[in-house]
Structure 1
């Protein structure tokens, strides 16, 4: 059975001008040389974005690498994409789980890629020099626009295409950066013809978490951007609006890494993990983390790796 060998300690990391905290970790006997203790002299800093699912996946990456002799430092809950991209650029982190479509649009808003394969194929040319992605997984977690069952029934809304004819003001809730994204309020206007004057935006900084859920339930917003694997969608009977024009691109989970750290060992380990990670896995992991169990990302990663028995 897989067990984590990491010890944790406090450290500091500066990214995007903000002081961030990280938990760092190492494996093996500190009295031995690194290449003898771990089977490898590689060291890699694994980061996660500022939400639980990213941290769970990052823990899976970190523990899988450790199980294969790679010394790992861990920097959890760094922030949103703007922040962790700068952390990759300045070398504060080397590796982070990301989502294919949003990553592509971050660097190339004009890309016409639509399918999962097209998005993945477009990424190498879109990424800055020194960055690359490894194999994408079947697991997908994408932004999704959700309304309450009551709102859906009262207004006849089941699709983003229905919003243009909506008689009531549209109050959108989501992470602050959603307001600047191609699939944000401007996308609703450009792609689905919603009158911009009929849309207002409420920034909620919890990545579709309990604050966003609460705002949708209490009417502070009437449409909320919530990640599609979030348990609260099913738990509250929210209606996820269809996206017939594919405004929100496919979002397969994949490792984003500094090329200098993408050794054969790192590639093989992470590609093995990606081949096994599914959307159903993400839903189960998120449910255990956010539900009554409140399982930690580290424990969930250990359980997932033990269950898959990959290494």
Structure 2
């Protein structure tokens, strides 16, 4: 009887220990910070950089990559994820449906307040990295005509063969935005090309300039391309920043400390190089993100 009682007690103790262990494991899993990312290279790289920073701060992280741009904000507001890298211009124009602004700090302050009021979501510090609209020109044409800014481009437009993308001529954030700030662009010639072909067109000397996004990997090759300065601020900024659910931030104050430490070091230049490593050289985005994180932490 004593032996049976002893075995029963041992079994009960083991069962309690197992249950406690399982409970502890569940608690640990539940406390993981769920980081989402949009389904393109740059956002995946930055999300991974955020994940590495939080892990270094002692936090457990779960990664949820490749969420659609159209659903990732909803995934955050419904609590399916806890944070992700967002762009200030996207928050202002696509989410809040506000008119474009051109001051980086004004846009940031506006989205920061509106997200807090409407969604209980915090914008942490934004990065200098700006993935916005731009114009790329070949280094040869830039050197030949002294074109470094969009003002320079407008003054020399009659010398420039422009590789348009069709809709760019009509979009409010395309040529109309430029002409409103800089005046008319009277190109030497203009032809419509698919966006995916624009660097091929420039390389083959079929055109001198084209619309571009300011962190495209090809722009890291400054021996071939020059990204023109938007000196009159025709286009809104799209600075990167972590957006985090308030509830999660309150429970994990280390998040703000860790991410605000690295965000100022994510620049247009280093994220452009990182994009090139993945998109042009075929490296894995997690490997590139680790290299970037190690260089800025």
Could you tell me the TM-score, scaled by structure 2's length? 0.68
Q: Does 1:217 align with 2:209?
A: no
State the match for 2:43 in structure 1: 54
Aligned residues: 268
Query: 1:124 and 1:137 mapped to 2: Cα distance?
Result: 14
Query: 1:283 and 1:306 mapped to 2: Cα distance?
Result: 16
Q: Where do 1:45-194 residues align within 5 Å? A: 45-80=34-69, 82-106=70-94, 107=96, 109-110=98-99, 112=101, 114=103, 116-127=104-115, 128-149=118-139, 152=142, 158-161=148-151, 162-163=153-154, 166-167=157-158, 170-173=162-165, 182-194=172-184
Q: Does 1:42 align with 2:31?
A: yes
- Paired residue secondary structure (1:75): strand
State the match for 1:257 in structure 2: 244
Structure having the higher helix fraction is 2
Q: Does 1:282 align with 2:271?
A: yes
Q: Tell me how far 1:58 sits from its aligned partner.
A: 0.4
1:172–1:225 Cα contact (<8 Å) kept: no
2:278–2:284 Cα contact (<8 Å) kept: yes
Identify unmatched segments of 5+ residues in structure 2: 1-20
Query: 1:62 and 1:295 mapped to 2: Cα distance?
Result: 19
Query: 2:122 and 2:192 mapped to 1: Cα distance?
Result: 33
Alignment RMSD (CA, Å):
4.0
Query: 1:67 and 1:269 mapped to 2: Cα distance?
Result: 8
Query: 1:45 and 1:36 mapped to 2: Cα distance?
Result: 14
Query: 1:87 and 1:186 mapped to 2: Cα distance?
Result: 34
Which has the larger Rg? 2
1:113–1:122 Cα contact (<8 Å) kept: no
Give CA deviations for 1:279-309 in whole Å, capped at 9, x if unaligned.
Answer: 45424433433454x432212333344455x
Task: Find 2:214's aligned residue among 213, 216, 227.
Answer: 227
Give CA deviations for 1:91-113 in whole Å, capped at 9, x if unaligned.
Answer: 44332212334533433543545
Identify unmatched segments of 5+ residues in structure 1: 1-29, 205-209
